[in-house]
Structure 1
Amino acid sequence: MATISIQQEGRALEIEVQGRVVRFHAIWLRDNAWDDQTRSPGNGQKLIRLSDIPVATAIADARLEASVLTLTFVPENKVVEYNLAWLLEHAYDGVPARQKGWIDACLHTWDSAAMAEPPLGCFNAVHASAQALQGWLAGLARFGVAKLANGPVADQALMQVVDLFGYVRETNYGRHFEVRSEVNPTSLAFTRQGLQAHTDNPYRDPVPTLQVLYCLENSVEGGDSLVVDGFRAAQCLRDESPAAFDLLSRYCACFEYRGAQGVILRARRPMIELDPDGRLIAVRFNNRSATAIAEVPYGEMEAYYAAYRRFGEIIDDPAMAVRFRLEPGECFIVDNTRVMHARTAFSGTGMRWFQGCYADKDSLLSRLATLQETLGDA
């Protein structure tokens, strides 16, 4: 049973439900009204500006019947109904203080002990079944990485993967790129060398937020794929040395790429990126693309480099990596703002031929949200 009371001469409302007390300001309540004069019934977008709401907005009357809260605002004399559950879900009173570097509860961080293999989907199943697609996308969103198996061994089959949820992010590499050894490579990715775990394209702003790597041939010795959860690595650094975590999140690193003629890409972003409220939102780590760091004061540069070195050591720890081998017709996707990928060196007379492309996470999350709304949570 809930009780309500008007507070601060109408400038606030207090709701008590099962011992929980939350308060809402009148201006917040009025701004978040869902009547068809305030928001479009079709898409939920606001039809008014904040300046259309009187500065002196107050609550003149409040009534609660079952789960419906009805408020009357003055000086507009406007009556608005609210769903009580929606209000409690969006309550901002009493939000607990969070540790710097906190992570959304819907995300699960991992290392090799916590995740033996990325979430796996079947190519045909996720194309044929909305439930299978929802489960696979949910795993990708939760863990930042997922695999698909039993796909076609065909040129640009990876486009069919992106079509499941969104759109290709075209870059100077084209709509897709070939990952195989070359005589004069424009990137170390196109050699037989092993690659340290890294996020792709840190020299772009905004960075592509998803990367797809699709196997068409893998008959070499070696060339295994590895993935590392950058959020778990950042947590480890924070727990071990809050000062080191602070340095890598407070100062920008600098990244640059000079490839084919006419391409010079630069970006400056922290290696560990936080929201203004301290939420961990991205990791950028790519030693190959790092350029001279000139954003750190002289007095803190040595400590910054020590933090940088330690972060790299955590990332390189074999216990952090999940290792697997892709066979033709298999692919994996990583959240490129979070999960780093790597490969072991390869040799022999065979061929390792992958195709890759970029996409963006907003479309994936949109597709997942619509599936969850239709089918319920996975």
Structure 2
Amino acid sequence: MQQIQTLNYRIDEQHARVLAFIDGQEIALPALWLRERCQDSENVDETTRHRLFDPHQLEADLALTHVEKKGEMQASLTFSDGYSGDYDLSRFNADFDYLDGAPVPRPWKSDIDKAVFHVDYHALHTDKGLIKGIEKFLTYGVIIVDNVPQNLDATIEVAEIFGHVRETNFGKSFEVYSRPNSSDLAYRSVPLGPHTDNPYRDPMPGIQLLHCLQNQAGEGLSTLVDSLSVLKQLKHELPDGYKMLCEIPVRFRHFDSDVDLVERRTIIESDASGNVTGIAYSPRLDHLPLLNDDDLITFHTARKRLGQLLSSPEFEWKFCLQPGQLQMFHNTRVLHGRTGFDPNKGLRHLHGAYIDYDAPKGRYKLLKQKMRAQ
């Protein structure tokens, strides 16, 4: 996704038009579009910015009848339904910010300088440090928080700095250590390939936090991989299969003694604008869709290659998460896993929690506004 580079407006009094120039492309803003965005206090609550009228009931064939320029970004607009109001055109800028105030995502591979991921726990308790931390997270899909106190409360504290804890059937938080006969392989000592957590849930958790309390085993390396980089390569190699992974849903399932969760979704995930945001990927939990032989081969070939790329040293970063470090990652963009370990060599104990993805984005925008005001 690319940010708009240039955005300007022109008020055309002669032809009663308001024009936007978006990266050099001229667009006449429709009368109905402008009428819905009226800005006066009789129609818009000044505190909440909620409308005091129902724009869904406006006439579809509304027209601009008069346009008067009142300043470089100021205009008075009159419409065919009799409404007239003053407009600050700069308020339209947010309509053309397709990242909604967030930084541009930067796909990365395993050779990236890992220093860009690190933030300090204490710095997150200041507005400046928190803005920097969220900006790193939104850009790379992951941060490593250093110097986190080695207790269970600290995991929840960090989660609540960024958002609100998302409780699941695993609880408000969960502890990851070897437990024989557990209901999830995460609680065993077996290796886990790169995967998305909870693809069987609607909605999936947006963000996962994993806080290392102890790692005496000397094994069980953490792994992270940016699916945005992997998907770019997959699309180049297998465009037909890539397209199928974008369009054909698969079935994911998790069950235990308390719940049976099933969800159908495409492996490649996109937002409402069609921009790829990540993947729902878990070879332990998915089921091939029923397709004809040729399509099934194409689909499976792409899925197989996706798995190979996710585990490729070119893309996958392996590291030892140290006690007092916490990794926070965008669950569907940056896939996580671990190498196997011998629990008899010592305790490997992580504490985890989930939060939703929208909270850090919202806090980032508000903090940026606060800093600008100061």
**TM-score normalized with structure 2 length:** 0.89
Q: Which residue of 2 aligns with 1:43?
A: 48
Whether contact under 8 Å (1:178, 1:356) holds in the other structure is yes
Does residue 1:170 correspond to 2:167, yes or no? yes
Aligned counterpart for 2:325 among listed residues 314, 320, 330: 330
Q: Which residue of 2 aligns with 1:238?
A: 235
1:246-290 deviations in Å (ceiling 9; x for gaps): 01001001100112x131111110000224543113310110111
Paired residue type of 2:268: I
Distance 1:344 1:338 in 2: 20
Does residue 1:4 correspond to 2:11, yes or no? yes
Whether contact under 8 Å (2:144, 2:327) holds in the other structure is yes
Whether contact under 8 Å (1:54, 1:75) holds in the other structure is no
Q: Which residue of 2 aligns with 1:222?
A: 219
Instruction: Give 1:176 shift.
Output: 0.9
Q: Which residue of 2 aligns with 1:369?
A: 365
1:167-316 pair list within 5 angstroms: 167-259=164-256, 261-275=257-271, 277-294=273-290, 296-316=291-311
Whether contact under 8 Å (1:14, 1:21) holds in the other structure is yes
Distance 1:290 1:191 in 2: 20
1:352-367 pair list within 5 angstroms: 352-367=348-363
Distance 1:262 1:153 in 2: 31
Q: Which residue of 1 aligns with 2:315?
A: 320
Q: Which residue of 1 aligns with 2:5?
A: none
Q: Which residue of 1 aligns with 2:104?
A: 106
Q: 1:210 to 1:17 in 2, by over 3 A?
A: closer
1:94-138 deviations in Å (ceiling 9; x for gaps): x9xxxxxxxx971111111234356111112212x1101110111
Q: 1:220 to 1:118 in 2, by over 3 A?
A: farther
Aligned counterpart for 1:147 among listed residues 144, 151, 174: 144
Distance 1:345 1:17 in 2: 51
1:55-94 pair list within 5 angstroms: 55-87=60-92, 90=95
Q: 1:54 to 1:71 in 2, by over 3 A?
A: farther
Paired residue type of 1:79: S
Paired residue type of 2:163: G
Q: 1:20 to 1:172 in 2, by over 3 A?
A: closer
Secondary structure at 1:147 match in 2: strand
The alignment of Structure 1 onto Structure 2 pairs a total of residues equal to 362
Instruction: Give 1:52 shift.
Output: 3.8
Secondary structure at 2:329 match in 1: strand
Paired residue type of 1:330: Q
Instruction: Give 1:18 shift.
Output: 11
Q: Which residue of 2 aligns with 1:341?
A: 336
Distance 1:281 1:269 in 2: 14
Q: 1:265 to 1:85 in 2, by over 3 A?
A: same
Whether contact under 8 Å (1:215, 1:326) holds in the other structure is yes
Instruction: Give 1:298 shift.
Output: 4.4
Q: Which residue of 1 aligns with 2:4?
A: none
**More displaced stretch, 59-68 vs 144-153:** 59-68
Secondary structure at 1:222 match in 2: coil
Distance 1:225 1:39 in 2: 50
Instruction: Give 1:71 shift.
Output: 3.3
**More displaced stretch, 343-352 vs 143-152:** 343-352
Q: 1:169 to 1:222 in 2, by over 3 A?
A: same
Distance 2:170 2:104 in 1: 33
CA RMSD of aligned residues (A): 2.6
Percent of aligned pairs with the same amino acid:
27
Q: 1:191 to 1:250 in 2, by over 3 A?
A: same
**TM-score normalized with structure 1 length:** 0.88
Paired residue type of 2:176: V
